[in-house]
Amino acid sequence: MLKKVLSFFVLSLLTLCAFAQESASFNPETLIIDVPTAAVLDKYQASLMTRTYANGSVMESLDFGVIPQVNIGLSLAVYELVGNSDDIKVLDPDFQVKWKLYDGSLYLPAIAIGYDGRRYGYDRRSKEYMDDRKGGYITFSREIFTPGLDASAGVNLSDFDRHDVYFFAGAAWQIKEWAALLAEWDNINNMRDSRLNLGARFAVTPSLSLSGAVRRIGRGDENERILQLRYVTNF
């Protein structure tokens, strides 16, 4: 099983590298940490994102700009891949899609709708996730107050059967050309289930960024440190 998982990761990376070019257009930040922005990949852009998080888990997300303003992607996570465990578990694959409805103006924010099936915090004993998927969402993004401070906010419906509506908000402050501070309040429905996440993102190259963050701040043992690598290219 491990060979199959590693083969998937390597194949994804080699596929991107085979068609890779230095991205001629901008590198859109489609997520702050977990909060979706209204940004989308350009047509013929691709993003490969690797996130390591609790219990030695690794998630690989592959997204494509297939037509103007529309992105689709697939994610696969492996529980206890990092570390000494020989009992790793491949979790169910998830998918994501985003459609940017409006580019924004001087007075109005950019608007996007989408679906994000990614979930985190898997518990092997209960076979449940600590975090629900974001599910269907609408997000609004724009620069606020000062150049380099981009904010996003919106609502999501995680489970279409329960009909529980959640809110989210976040911001990325570009303090240097190569560094940004990240903050978000996610999964807002009640205080107990909401998540405060803080982090930073560093541009290694115009196409490669490295992010570190702490999720669920103030939740004791539920606090989670993550490390994320994202590569954007043209194909």
pLDDT digits (tens, 9 = 90+) for 197-229: 999 999 998 899 999 999 999 887 888 999 999
Does 8 have pLDDT greater than 60? Answer: no
CB atoms within 10 A of CB 173: 16
| 48-55 mean pLDDT | 90
> How far is the CA of 128 from the CAs of 1, 31, 95, 119, 212, in angstroms?
21, 24, 18, 10, 25
Please give the residue that has the higher pLDDT: either 25 or 188: 188
> How far is the CA of 2 from the CAs of 59, 92, 204, in angstroms?
14, 15, 29
pLDDT of residue 135: 92
Q: Which domains does the chain have, with CATH numbers?
A: 2-234 (2.40.160.40)
Please name which of 198, 199, 201 lies closest in space to residue 177, comparing C-alpha atoms.
201
What does pTM read for this prediction? Answer: 0.85
Q: State pLDDT tens for residues 105-133.
A: 988 999 999 999 999 888 888 888 888 89
pLDDT of residue 24: 43
Q: Classify strands 128-129 and 94-102 as parallel, antiparallel or unpaired.
A: unpaired
Q: State pLDDT tens for residues 149-203.
A: 999 999 999 877 777 899 999 999 999 999 999 999 999 988 888 999 999 999 9
